[in-house]
Amino acid sequence: MIPTKSSEIQVPFLDLKSQYASIKEEILEAVYAVLESAHYVSGERVEGFEDEFARYIGARYVVGVSSGTSALELALQAANIGLGDEVIVPANSFFASAEAVSRVGARPVFADVNPATFHLDASSVQNHLTPRTRAILPVHLYGRAADFKGD
């Protein structure tokens, strides 16, 4: 939090400490199990997660990846997005959004965001569409899903 006058009351924007405290034992148990097994990549727990998540979302397959950046890159590759293509991304996103686009050979195009939601602004997206636009990559922020129908 930004320091303020001592008379002001501050409400934390995101209380990760409380969230962690509520599931601390479950997290520690899972971490210790992975450390004991020494299966840091793939292995029984990853396969179990993939199978369980596939059932949960009704998909035939799920592939666990090492990061959100890898997930974005894989999704772009699956959509055959590459050299010469453009992908619209929010201007205020973590650099991984644009990085994934660049890594598949496409060009990230930065669109403005709605100041009330911090999600992509539909009119800004419209202004950035070109014949080379192959995808729009919205980013969910602060626990709120981006509105794909527009602002």
Per-residue pLDDT tens listing for the chain (151 residues)? 555 566 677 777 778 899 999 999 999 999 999 899 998 888 888 899 999 999 999 999 999 998 999 999 999 999 999 999 999 999 988 889 999 999 999 999 999 999 988 899 989 999 999 999 999 999 988 788 887 764 4
- Kindly report whether the global pTM for this prediction surpasses the value 0.75: no
Alpha carbon distance 83, 107 (integer Å): 8
Return the closest-CA partner of residue 139 out of 130, 150, 129, 147: 147
Give me the DSSP letters along 64-122. Answer: --S-HHHHHHHHHHHTT--TT-EEEEETTS-THHHHHHHHTT-EEEEE-B-TTT-SBPH
